[in-house]
Every structure is written in C-alpha cells, then in structure tokens.
Structure 1
Amino acid sequence: MQFQIDKMGCGGCARSITATIHTLDPAADVVIDLPTKRVAVTSKADGMAIEQALSQAGFPPRRIA
C-alpha cells in the first residue's frame, strides 16, 4: 500500500513514520520518498490501523494505492 503524507518534510519525520509503522508490524518494509512525500508499506498489519497510527502520530496519510 502507498500513502501520500503531506506533513512529512524531513528525515526526522521519515524516521518517526517508519517507527510508527514498526510498532504495528516490526517486520514491515517501509520505503520513503521524501521529495514526493510518498510512503510505500509492505506489511501484514491492517491498512486502516496503519492510517490511524500515522494520524495519531501527527502524519495524516492519504492512501494512494
């Protein structure tokens, strides 16, 4: 699944997003493209749970795929 996260602006944001996803699935593969503000996630965790966790962390996502 892929997300657009417009509030992601720096490497610290990217690390926080990765850590948030890893709290739900430590084995998740998280690929971040900072210039386009896109995050690709391969995980066994529920997509809605990931979206909720990211929103609570201050990075509201918009699912794009």
Structure 2
Amino acid sequence: MDFKVPEMSCGHCTSAIEKAIKAADPAAAVSCDLTEHVVSVKSQLATGALSAAIKDAGYDSQPLSA
C-alpha cells in the first residue's frame, strides 16, 4: 500500500511516520521515498488505519492506487 505524503521532507519525518505505523502494527514493513514523498507499507491493517497512523505522526497522506 502506498501513500503520498507531500509534507515528508527529511529523516525526522520518515522516522516519525515509521514509528507511528509500527506502533499500530509492529509487524509492518515501512519504506519511505523522500524524493517522491511516498510511504510504502506492507501491513495487515486497513488503508484507513494506516492513514490514521500517518496522521497521528502529524502528516496528511493520500492513498495511491496500486
């Protein structure tokens, strides 16, 4: 599942997002692409739950089509 996170711009941003997603799903695999502002997540959680975790980290996100 990929999410566009326009405000993600540095290592601190990616760390906060990864931490929030892993708090919701410790087994999640998270990778962040700062160039494209995209967060890729492999998780059992639904899209809405992952969006909420990113929001909890302080960032707006938009799910991208697969």
Normalized against structure 1, the TM-score is what? 0.92
Aligned pairs for 1:1-65 within 5 A: 1-65=1-65
| C-alpha contact (below 8 Å) 2:3/2:62 kept by paired residues | yes
Normalized against structure 2, the TM-score is what? 0.91
**Can you give the 5+ residue segments of structure 1 that lack an aligned partner in the other structure?**
none
Number of equivalent positions: 65
Q: What's the Cα RMSD here? A: 0.9
| C-alpha contact (below 8 Å) 2:22/2:28 kept by paired residues | yes
Identical positions, percent = 34
